[in-house]
Structure 1
Amino acid sequence: MSAAGVRTAPAAGPTSTALRVGPGRPAVRRGAWVVAVLGVLVVLLLVILGVASRSTGSDALDIRAARPDGARALAEILRARGIAVSAAQTLPAHAGAGEPRRTLVVLEPGRLNHDELTDLLSQVWQGSDVVLVAAGDAVLDALDVGVRLSDDPPSAQDGVPRCALPEATTAGSTTLRGGRAYTRAETDRRADMSLLLCYGNPPAAARLAVLTPDVAAVPGGGQSGRLVLLGSAGLLTNQELDQDGNAALALGLLARHSGLSWITPVADASDGVGSRSLVDLLPAGVRVACLQVIVLLVLLALWRGRRLGPPVAEPLPVVVRAAETVEGRGRLYAVARARDRAADALRAGARVRLAERSGLPVRSGPAGPAGPAGPAGPDPISLVASVAERTGRSPSEIGSLLYGSGMPPRSHPGPGPVGHIVDQVQTRDLPPSPKWPSGASPGALAGPPGRRGAKPGRADADLLALALALDDLDRQVGGR
C-alpha cells in the first residue's frame, strides 16, 4: 500500500510511542563504571604481584647470596676446607678414570628429565655423591631406588637422628624438621643398594635418606658414592646453618670430595619429570572455589531464564482506521487497473458472508486429497445450492455471480428436462428476480471483469454491477 493512499492520524505530541524494555542509560553507565573499576583493580594487583615476585638477581639457596635464604656461608666454609665450590645450571660431564670424584648438589631435581636423572644415578655408581634437595614422587619414580614419599610425615618438633649414619650421630639434633619425608617402598627393587633413614620416625618416615651402593657391585672395586635425599634445604641456608648441628650435618654430607657442583636447573625446562601445568600449580581450594562459582552461575542462569516476566504492550507508531484501509486498497486496485483482482476480492468476501449467514462451514484446509491447501471459503456446490434455494434464483446465475468463470466443475451432471420442470414448480410462488442495473447482465457478469479488450468504462460498470448484485444477494440471504 502506498503512502499516498493512506492517511495517518496526527501525532498526539512529540513524545515517542516506543517503550524501552531493557536497562536504562543510567544503569548501563553504572555497570560500565563498575566493570572499568574492577578491571583497573585487577591490573594493579597483577602489577603488584609481578613487582613483588621479581627476581633481585640471586635466587634462594644461591651460593653467592648473603641473604638469610642464601647459601654463601656454607660455600665459604667448604672453600675454607679446600673444597672447590662452583655453581652451574646443567649437569657436568662424567669424571674420567684419573679424575677425582665430586659432590653434586641438585636443587629442584624435578626440572631434570629422565635421562639426566639416570645419568646422576650412574655417577653415584662411579663414586660421586649426589644430593637431591626436596625430591618428589616423579623424581623417585624415575630413579627407581626403592624409596617413596611418606603419607604420614613425622612431627615438626622431632629433630633427633634415630639412625646409625656417622654424619647424623656426629651432628646430633638439627632443625631438619620441615619439608618432605621419605620411607621405604613396598616393593624394594634395588637390592644392590643399602638404605638409611634418619631424622623423623624411621622407617615409617624420615627427612633424610641415604642410599649407598654395595661395594661388591661397584665397577672396578673402587670407592662407592652415595645418593642423598634431603627433605628440606633449610639447614643449608645462612639463617639456619649455625643452629643446633646443622653445620656439622651439612659438612658431613657435602665435604666427602674435593670438588662440589652446586646445580640449579633452569626453570623453563619443559621436559622435566616434575614439570606441572598452570592448573596443577593452583591450590586445591582454588579449584573447588571455581567449581562452586560455575555451579552458582548455572543455577543463576536457570533461575533467571524461567522468569519471563509479564508481556509488554507496545503501541503502534500510527493509527489507521479500517475505512481508510479499505479506501486505500481500492485506490491501489484502481491505479493498477486490477479489476480482476478487485472482482475476486468482492466475490471472496461475499462468499464468506453468505456462508456465515447460511450456516455453512468455511474450510481452511486442503482443497482435496491430492490438491494443495486452498484459500479459505465454503464448499462451492453447497453455497450455490443454499443461496439459490433461499433467493429463488437459478443455480447457474448464483454460480456466475459468486465465482464468475472460476466456478468449480460440477461433481454430477446437470439437471435434465425433468429437473428443470421440478425447479419451475418449486419456484413458481417465489418473487421474480430483481432487475439488473443498466448496462449489466448475467452474461456480462459471468466472465472475469477487466478482461483484455474491454473498455475501462464498461469494465468499471460491470464491476459496480457485480458489487450491487452481491450486496443484493447478501440482503436476501440475511433477510434484511
Structure 2
Amino acid sequence: MTAAPPSAAAPSGTADAVPADAITPTFRAGVRRRRIWIVFAVVLVLGAIALLVLRGGAAGAGQRLGADNPAPLGAKALVEVLGSHGVEVEAAADFDTALTAAKSGATVLVFDEFGLLDEQRLSRLALFSDRLVVVEPGFTALEALAPGVRMAGAASGALDDVACELPAAENAGALSTGQRLFTLDDEATADGWQGCFRDGEYGFAVAEGPSSGDGRIVLVGASTPFENGRITERGNAALAIGLAGASDELVWYLPGPLDADPDQAPTLGELTPGWVSPVLALAIVVTVVAGIWRGRRFGPLVVENLPVHVPAGETAVGRARLYARNAARTHALDQLRLGAIARIATALRLPRTADVSEIAAAAAAATGRDPWQVRAVLVEALPVGDRDLVRLANELDDLEHAVRATLAPETSTPHDAEHPGRRP
C-alpha cells in the first residue's frame, strides 16, 4: 500500500498543514465580492422591464373612449351600434372639424380627458351646437358651459331615481355603479338646468340645460355609460344611445395636443413652487463659491516635461503599501508568484506556452524537491495572515535561487570537472 502524496497546501518543512484552495480568485469569489453592484443591476433591469410592460400594456389599451378602440375603456361597441341604427359617426381629429360639423347640425360628443380646451373654444362649440354632449367635464368646461353646475364627487352606488324629464334618461331608467355627481345651484335651476339620476341628497349623475345659442347641453359625470366594458350594465346603453344618437350625424370629438392653446400654456416657473427658483439660485452661488474656495489656482498646476520617469522601486513600494492597507495578501502573493514563475521558466529554458504545472514539475526535477511542495509554493498555498505571506515569499525566493544554483556552472558534476576543456 503506497503512501498518499503530501498535502498540496503543506509548506516546506511541515507535515501537518491543511489543504488549501487555489490562490487566484475564482468566478464565485468575484461574484461574491461584487454582489452589491450585481443586485443594483438586477433591480434596474427588473424595473426597466416592468416599466416597458406597463407602458406596453397602456399603449396596447388604445385611446380611452376612442371610437375605434375595442378595449374595455374604448367606445367602439357604442359606435358600432349607432352605425347599425343609421347614425353616421365621424371621429373629429381637431377643433375646427368638430366646430364645422356642429354648424351643420350634427350632435357633438366631447370627451376632453386632459382638459386641453379653453373656455373660449368650449363657448364657441356650445354656441354653434344644437346638441352637445360633454363627458366628464372639468372645472374649465363647467365654468364655460354651466356656471351654476358644480362637481360633487362619486356616486354611492347604482342609481335608479331618474328625477328628470330627459327622454334618454327616462328610457335608461337606471345607471350602473361608477358614476360621478353634479350639484345644481339656484342660478343654474333658474336658467333651465335639470339633474338626472339623483343620488339622494348628494347630487345628480347627469345634468341637462340650455346652451348660449339655441341648442341643448348634456353633462355626463362619468364615462362609464359609454365604455365597452360597462355599457351593458343596467341602463348605460340606453342612456348612451339616446344621447349620442339624437340626430343622424354624430361627431365624436376627443381633443388632442394640437387643440391646446400654446399662448395660454403655463411656463416652467408657473408650474414649480415659488421657493424653487431662489433655492436654485442659491445652489449655483454656493457651488461657484465652493469651487473658488477649494480650487488651488487658475492655469496649469504643474509645469514639467512629460513623460515623467518613476523608478520601479517606488512603484513596487507604492503597490505594496496599497496591498498592506487593504489586507490583500492573496493578490500580493499572486504578484510575487507571477514574477517568480516567469523567471524560473526563463532559467529552465521552458517555452512561453508552458503552464504552471509544467513549470512546477521542471523546477522540482531540477532542484530534487518534492513536486507537491513545489506546486504548493508556486500555486496552491494560501496565506492566512501576514506571517504566512512572509514565509511563502521567502520560500518563493529560496526556490528561485535553488533553481538558478542548480543550473549554475559551479554546480557541474565531477565527470565534467575531469574534462575542463568541455563546455557544460
TM-score by length of 1: 0.43
Larger Rg: 1
Write 1 or 2 for the structure with the bigger share of helix.
2
Specify which structure has the bigger relative contact order, considering alpha-carbon pairs within 8 angstroms and separated by 6 or more residues.
2
TM-score by length of 2: 0.48
